[in-house]
């Protein structure tokens, strides 16, 4: 159980991990806190955007859609490996997921199959949206995969979490397939090595 980092510490932690961070507008105050709680935070969630083009991807993640207002995550990781901060606080990224998965993340144990959507994930997870079409063909450049690894590791390092606190949206909410194109098991392995 942990209080969310301040926006300033979040930014500093990402930079300390060696990431190139782009601050988009008034990201520190762009959130959905008026719609529900933010925290305690228990982990980090990785997504793909199903979008093409970095500028367009960042704009969508900041603004959201008519029926799903932004921010749609905290940081957007584009194919060049940059992290664009679009919001801070409660964000519309995780939706409802499985309470047993949340319990496993908190205990840092192996994940059960997500077969229920009964728990508010936007309260409990930091979220990174990663620019990719999510069709299994669109490549994931090395710079982008490394940035995902570093961003997740930075937050784990701050909170004293292991790589088991990092999950994919597909491991949280039944029916979700993101991220597609690499496995979360391999990503957690890279994060574990980085945290050593």
Whole-number Å distance between alpha carbons of 110 and 101: 9
Give the interface segment with Zn ion, choosing from 55-63, 144-152, 155-163, 165-173 (CB under 5 A): 165-173
Whole-number Å distance between alpha carbons of 142 and 81: 8
DSSP designation for 25: S
Place of tokens 């490996």: 81
DSSP 43-64: EEEEEE----SHHHHHHHHHHE
What residues between 100 and 119 interact with Zn ion by CB under 5 A?
none
**Left if phi > 0, otherwise alpha if psi is -120 to 50, otherwise beta: which for 151?**
alpha
Candidates 82, 84, 124, 169; binder of Zn ion (CB under 5 A) is 169
181 CA to centre of own chain: 16
Q: Which is nearer to Zn ion, 81 or 168 (CB)?
A: 168
Closest separation in Å from C-beta 46 to Zn ion: 8
> Binding string to Zn ion for residues 170 to 189, with x set by CB under 5 A, is what?
--------x-----------
Candidates 11, 14, 27, 47; binder of Zn ion (CB under 5 A) is 47
Q: For residue 2, what are the β-bridge partners? A: 41
Closest separation in Å from C-beta 92 to Zn ion: 10
Closest separation in Å from C-beta 84 to Zn ion: 17
Q: Is 164 in the site for Zn ion (CB under 5 A)?
A: no
Binding site for Zn ion (CB under 5 A): 47, 169, 178
């Amino acid at each position: 159980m942990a209080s969310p980092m301040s926006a300033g510490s979040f930014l500093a932690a990402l930079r300390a991990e060696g990431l190139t961070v782009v601050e988009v507008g008034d990201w520190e105050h762009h959130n959905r806190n008026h719609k529900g709680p933010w925290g305690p935070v228990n982990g980090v969630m990785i997504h793909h955007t199903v979008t093409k083009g970095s500028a367009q991807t960042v704009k969508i993640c900041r603004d959201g859609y008519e029926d799903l207002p932004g921010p749609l995550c905290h940081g957007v990781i584009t194919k060049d490996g940059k992290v664009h901060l679009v919001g801070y606080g409660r964000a519309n990224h995780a939706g409802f997921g499985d309470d047993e998965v949340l319990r496993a993340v908190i205990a840092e144990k192996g994940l059960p199959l997500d077969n229920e959507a009964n728990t508010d994930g936007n309260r409990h997870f930091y979220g990174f949206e990663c620019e990719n079409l999510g069709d299994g063909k669109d490549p994931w450049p090395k710079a982008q995969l490394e940035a995902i690894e570093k961003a997740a590791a930075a937050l784990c390092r701050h909170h004293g979490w292991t790589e088991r606190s990092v999950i994919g949206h597909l491991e949280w909410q039944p029916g979700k397939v993101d991220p597609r194109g690499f496995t979360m098991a391999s990503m957690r392995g890279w994060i574990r090595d980085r945290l050593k």
